[in-house]
Amino acid sequence: MNHAPVVILDFGSQTTQLIARRVRELGVYCEIHPYHRPAAEVSALAPRALILSGGPASVTDADAPRPDPAMLELDLPILGICYGCQLLTQSLGGKVAASPLREFGRAALGPRAPDSRLFSRFSDSPVWMSHGDHVELTPPGFTVTAKTSDGLVAAIEDPSRRRFGVQFHPEVHHTPGGKDILAAFLFDVAGLVADWTPAHFIAETLARIRAQVGDDGHVICGLSGGVDSAVAAALVNAAIGKRLHCIFVDSGLLRKDEAVEVERTFGAELAFSLTTVDARERFLGALAGTADPELKRKTIGRVFIDVFEEAARAFKDAAFLCQGTLYPDVIESVSVRGPSATIKTHHNVGGLPERMHLKLIEPLRELFKDEVRAVGRELGLPERVLMREPFPGPGLAIRILGPVSPERIHTLQEADAIVRAELARLPNKHEIWQSFAVLLPVRSVGVMGDARTYEEVCAVRAVTSVDGMTADVFPIPHEALGRIATRIVNEVRGINRVVYDITSKPPGTIEWE
């Protein structure tokens, strides 16, 4: 990438990725690096500014994480956030000590120094604090530019050396004026321009893909119908057109009508070169009689790789494999990894690039999910693809508890379609991260008309989440729940009872298996 980055040094804060997202929302390219990266390596990136993240440690501990001392000497604007602020303070000759008052949560700032560079765009607002240590003595050359209403140091700066520190977290949602702080640092102090836009990214990426693939190279790409593979493929398609060969494996484990939808969208509408492999029988055969969740996952993963590899071999000229790897998958960070690092793995076509001697093309390696959507939008992908809910690689198999059979797949698809259709009518449907039906291998007695029934139970699940790592229950209004239950029991054969899952994650997981 041609963009010289703002470098964010990660000291283990849970909000490091949020800093990066806020900076990018301001139109500035940034990268996260672990705090122990040597200063020479960071220098080699030609960074435009440095941000030191927060972190759980205390700088007063002997073994606290510390950057290469040369890092703080770099001739760059530096902003320290929370732990980063304390680190700057201590390293530059000030003093940090345990706070007489631990501040966690919302805090009010007292008056700001009128000539503060960092607060020049900031209007009065609460800020979010989370610290046990505080700046007791500012380093030489620094002034205190704000205190909290409790009288503790909230911000310091030495504009002549371009060193700034804030004790609060400008990156979190609970600091509404946080973007003004970051904007003042990036634009006014560091003199950066907002040039990280989807259009720029696309122009640079297309050029890069063309250079990598050459004039006659061919690329294969597994299309799942999800956002990441769709946008990755759309970029490569825009770069080299028909020399991209998309493969869609129909496992029979997708939601109702989704296989048809993928073919219609990518084949008919977007005119990608698309091969659909109907592998429904193969997946079903391999899964027959399997009820164990992990065995289901392994089986599906194995069959997927076999099927994909066989299909890929048909493209003898292909020397490249396109994958929708995102930035959270590749950040070498000391804080909590993104969702893809922790979820039960599946769909990566593990080992295939080596076995088939394919070189990887990963056009989304630098992007967060919201940026991927923005790029997809700019490329003209339909909104229904971009706003698609995350869907697990093993598909409905892990929402059908117990053995998977064609009948049970059909039953779940029908019930699930009703859940989706009813939730789509809610005005706040955009708050939902995932929503679906789960088929339970539990039979209960019911009565329909004059007849006694003895059929399976279906659970309804809807959650809100930011990244899938944690999730809250999305409160489905009672009326909608009532409609869902009535419709499922009336319209779907094989289900005579509907229950509602109200478990958050943790302790539950989003999926049932």
Tell me, residue by residue from 308 to 347, as one string, x for binding to ligand XMP by CB under 6 A and - for no binding: -------------------------------x---xx-xx
What distances in angstroms separate CA 428 from CA 174, 274, 423, 425, 475, one per listed residue? 21, 35, 9, 9, 10
Residue 134 CB: number of other CB atoms within 10 A? 24
State the Cα–Cα distance between residues 494 and 405, nearest whole angstrom: 13
Q: State which residue, 344 or 377, has the beta carbon closest to ligand XMP.
A: 344
Q: State which residue, 28 or 232, has the beta carbon closest to ligand XMP.
A: 232
Query: In the chain, how long is the greatest CA-to-CA distance?
Result: 87
Closest CA to 29 of 260, 210, 148, 200: 200
Token pair for 448: 């329909």
Choice from 13, 333, 434, 435 touching ligand XMP (CB under 6 A): 434
Residues 229-268 that bind ligand XMP (CB under 6 A): none
What distances in angstroms separate CA 237 from CA 95, 118, 193, 215, 224, one per listed residue? 56, 43, 30, 14, 16
Residues 153-212 that bind ligand XMP (CB under 6 A): none
Q: State which residue, 37 or 344, has the beta carbon closest to ligand XMP.
A: 344
Q: How many residues bind ligand XMP (CB under 6 A)?
A: 16
Span interacting with ligand XMP, options 230-238, 328-336, 367-375, 502-510, rule CB under 6 A: 502-510
Q: Could you tell me the smallest distance in angstroms from the CB atom of residue 353 to ligand XMP? A: 18
Choice from 12, 392, 397, 412 touching ligand XMP (CB under 6 A): 392
Under the criterion CB under 6 A, does residue 394 sit at the interface with ligand XMP? yes
Q: State which residue, 297 or 497, has the beta carbon closest to ligand XMP.
A: 297
Q: Could you tell me the smallest distance in angstroms from the CB atom of residue 421 to ligand XMP? A: 20
Q: What angle do CA 474, 478, 482 make, to 5 degrees?
A: 115
What distances in angstroms separate CA 398 from CA 101, 354, 435, 438, one per listed residue? 48, 29, 14, 9
Q: Could you tell me the smallest distance in angstroms from the CB atom of residue 295 to ligand XMP? A: 13
Residues 343-382 that bind ligand XMP (CB under 6 A): 343-344, 346-347
| DSSP-based three-state secondary structure for 462 | strand
State the Cα–Cα distance between residues 144 and 163, nearest whole angstrom: 12
> 385 CB contacts (<8 Å, ≥6 apart)?
225, 227, 230, 265, 376
| DSSP-based three-state secondary structure for 457 | strand
Sign of dihedral through CA atoms 10, 431, 513, 281? negative
Q: Could you tell me the smallest distance in angstroms from the CB atom of residue 467 to ligand XMP? A: 9
Under the criterion CB under 6 A, does residue 473 sit at the interface with ligand XMP? no
Asked if 171 is an active-site residue, the reply is yes
Under the criterion CB under 6 A, does residue 510 sit at the interface with ligand XMP? yes
Q: Which of 171, 366, 456, 513 is catalytic?
A: 171
Asked if 322 is an active-site residue, the reply is no
Q: Could you tell me the smallest distance in angstroms from the CB atom of residue 171 to ligand XMP? A: 23
Angle between helices 293-313 and 280-287 (to 10 degrees): 150
Q: State which residue, 170 or 392, has the beta carbon closest to ligand XMP.
A: 392
**45 DSSP assignment:** T
Residues 268-297 that bind ligand XMP (CB under 6 A): 297
Alpha helices (runs of H) in 314-379, residue ranges in sequence order: 327-330, 339-342, 352-355, 369-378
Span interacting with ligand XMP, options 104-112, 134-142, 307-315, 387-395, rule CB under 6 A: 387-395
Q: State which residue, 486 or 509, has the beta carbon closest to ligand XMP.
A: 509
Q: Could you tell me the smallest distance in angstroms from the CB atom of residue 229 to ligand XMP? A: 11
Q: State which residue, 77 or 394, has the beta carbon closest to ligand XMP.
A: 394
Choice from 125, 143, 490, 509 touching ligand XMP (CB under 6 A): 509
Length of the chain: 513
* CB 225 within 8 Å of CB 157: no
Q: Which of 33, 131, 134, 169 is catalytic?
A: 169
Asked if 82 is an active-site residue, the reply is yes
Beta strands (DSSP E) in 382-450 are: 434-448
Positions touching ligand XMP (CB under 6 A) are 297, 339, 343-344, 346-347, 390, 392-394, 434, 468, 505, 509-511
Q: Which residues are catalytic?
A: 82, 169, 171
